[in-house]
Amino acid sequence: LVFNSIKLTGFKSFVEPTEFLIEPGLTGIVGPNGCGKSNLLEAIRWVMGANSAKAMRGAAMEDVIFNGTKTRPGRNQAHVTITVDNSARIAPPAFNDEDTLEIMRIIEKDKGSKYKINGKTVRAKDVQLLFADASTGANSPALVRQGQISELIAAKPSNRRRILEEAAGISGLHSRRHEAELRLRAAETNLDRLEDIVGQIE
């Protein structure tokens, strides 16, 4: 998956609209402690659908919104947009004619967050599956948080297996299987009801 750029507005310390262009090759981000390097990585994880406050180093999901400094008031919303090259046609069918995908997540205070792909509102799951199918995503082992290596060493085998499954690009299948099982169960219930009704008529 090739990222072209990432734009942040009101996200953590990035209060002003900030755009990072990601050129081909290796990208390094350097800067003094506290300048926002980890916040940028968190923004990438967040726009891919990260849903736990812990992964975002906050107590609540809304903590990603710029909460002000001594001289600047906090904001009411944050958004992050990541632009991805779609020449490999990795997108869901509805977007797969497009050469680039703009995936956006917006959070507003007291309103929760929503997602858009190329301006169209989509479900969190659509964004999560898109990245999971491309073997990346909010929980991807390619994104290494501070302290994560020691967590990995101490992890239970079942958790370690999940990490390997992410790396193998099959984690999207688990959530599709779950959706399919739910649909199957609903169909079985309908069938049971139908049999009851048929029984009553006979």
Q: How many other CB atoms sit within 10 Å of the CB of residue 104? A: 20
Angle CA 162–163–165, to nearest 5: 65
At position 4, the amino acid (one-letter code) is N
Nearer to ligand ATP, 10 or 172 (CB): 10
Residue of the chain from 31, 147, 157, 199 that contacts ligand ATP (CB under 6 A): 31
39 annotated ligand-binding residue: yes
d(CA 44, CA 8): 10
- Note whether 34 binds ligand ATP by CB under 6 A: yes
The binding track of 47-66 with respect to ligand ATP, each residue x by CB under 6 A or -, is ----------------x-xx
**Min dist. Cβ of residue 1 to ligand ATP (A):** 23
Locate 71 and state its tokens.
């001289």
Locate 135 and state its tokens.
């073997």
Q: Of residues 150-189, which lie at the interface with ligand ATP (CB under 6 A)?
A: none
d(CA 73, CA 114): 24
Residue of the chain from 28, 33, 71, 158 that contacts ligand ATP (CB under 6 A): 33
Contacting residues toward ligand ATP, per CB under 6 A: 12-13, 31, 33-39, 63, 65-67
